[in-house]
């Protein structure tokens, strides 16, 4: 087996030929050289995933479980948004349903984005043996839920 084929099994693409040009007098000549090019595939994870040392798998799994718990929260926001649009016909005006459903869906989008950022930051910190970073996810969820609760109360009181 050639070295180029063996390298392809270890995440390196088959060697490509690069041409280097050298001027010798008025004549141009080139020679070829085999260069191994690292392969970058999106399903192998982000580039920082290979930094540092692998943390204890229990910590990585706990970090992943926390991420999945935040995703369940996002799914609850989205389910509530769909439920408001489909089932909340008690409001006199349709824009109130739309506003509440939009607020729930946007909250879900923000929490989803911040959940990934939190997971990635914690994973990077564990790999590089640094303290865990601050993430504003809890504050965002609290503010979003408080704003949605105020909207629901206002709609119940004033839209009858």
Interval 35-77: pLDDT, tens = 554 555 666 777 777 788 888 889 999 999 999 999 999 999 9
Query: Could you give the percent of the chain with pLDDT greater than 70?
Result: 70
Mean pLDDT for 98-122 is: 92
DSSP secondary structure letter of residue 12: B
Phi/psi at 94 (5° precision): -75, -25
Let me know: does 90 contact 96? Beta carbons within 8 Å.
no
What are the pLDDT digits (tens) for 127-138?
999 999 988 888
Is the pLDDT higher at 39 or at 33? 39
Q: How far apart are CA 108 and CA 29, in angstroms?
A: 61
Residue 106 confidence (pLDDT) above 90: yes
How sure is the predictor about 15, in pLDDT bands with cuts at 50, 70 and 90? very low
pLDDT at 13: 46
Specify the pLDDT at position 38. Answer: 55
pTM surpassing 0.75? no
- Looking at residue 34, what is its pLDDT? 54
On average, the pLDDT of the chain sits at 77
Which pLDDT value is given to residue 40?
A: 57
Tokens of 144: 């979003």
pLDDT at 62: 94
Half-sphere exposure of 110 (CA within 13 A, CB side): 17
């Amino acid at each position: 087996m050639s070295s180029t084929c063996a390298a392809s099994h270890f995440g390196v693409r088959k060697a490509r030929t690069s041409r280097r040009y050298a001027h010798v007098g008025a004549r141009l000549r080139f020679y070829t050289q085999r260069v191994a090019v690292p392969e970058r595939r999106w399903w192998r994870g982000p580039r920082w995933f290979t930094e540092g040392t692998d943390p204890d798998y229990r910590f990585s799994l706990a970090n992943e479980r926390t991420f999945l718990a935040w995703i369940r929260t996002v799914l609850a926001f989205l389910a509530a948004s769909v439920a408001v649009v489909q089932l909340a016909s008690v409001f006199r005006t349709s824009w109130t349903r739309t506003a509440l459903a939009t607020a729930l869906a946007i909250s879900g989008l923000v929490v989803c984005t911040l959940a990934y950022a939190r997971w990635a930051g914690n994973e990077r910190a564990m790999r590089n043996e640094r303290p865990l970073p601050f993430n504003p996810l809890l504050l965002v969820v609290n503010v979003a839920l408080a704003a949605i609760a105020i909207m629901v109360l206002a709609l119940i009181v004033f839209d009858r």
